[in-house]
Amino acid sequence: MKYSLLVGLVWLVGCTQTSPVPLYVEDRVFVWGEIQTTPDLPVEQWDWSAADAVLAKYDQPISLAIWPYALWDQASCHALWSTVITTYGIHFQAPYPVCDETAYQYWLTQIEERYGDQVADWRVIDDHQQQEPPLANFIGSEEDYSRLVDLTKTVIMDTL
């Protein structure tokens, strides 16, 4: 009994300590088109509710993926490209490279300013090589993906 109490106390203390390693979070809350629902919507009207709710669950640094998809953005330069049937939600129906890089950079700046203290590791599209429906995460070349990563990294690093 004496040892089980000690083990229980050590377990409880261990669970309350924050980890220096970011916790890997799989929720798809940083989806561009779900936060900024139209291109000219003021930041004050963006829908932060899903991201706020997920991030409120964690009191330690986390690792989250950025999903650079907004149907309104995709329609501006990929409108003639095929729509993908996907199980991830409406904005993943056009998982192509970003069209309006300036708008994407602005969205990233707002994300980093709002959540940067909590997100320790920013990922850009989990499993980008998964390019076939129904689970297409990104449809584009390696060069397209590298450009997206470089663009994202530049904005995140400049905002820090």
**Tens-digit pLDDT profile for residues 48-69:** 999 999 999 998 899 988 989 8
Domain of 118 in residue numbering reads as 22-159
Q: Domain for residue 41, yes or no?
A: yes
Q: Domain for residue 13, yes or no?
A: no
Do the beta carbons of residue 66 and residue 124 sit within 8 Å?
yes
Q: Domain for residue 128, yes or no?
A: yes
Position 107 scores a pLDDT of 96
Q: Domain for residue 58, yes or no?
A: yes
Backbone angles phi, psi at 20, to 5 degrees: -70, -15
Residues 137, 88: Cα–Cα separation, whole Å: 9
pLDDT, tens digit, 9 for 90 and up, residues 120-139: 989 888 777 777 666 677 88
Total number of domains constituting the chain: 1
Q: Domain for residue 121, yes or no?
A: yes
- The sign of the CA dihedral 110, 28, 62, 14 is positive
Q: Domain for residue 116, yes or no?
A: yes
Q: Domain for residue 151, yes or no?
A: yes
Q: Domain for residue 9, yes or no?
A: no
How wide is the angle at C-alpha 29 spanned by C-alphas 28 and 33, nearest 5°? 100
Position 92 scores a pLDDT of 59
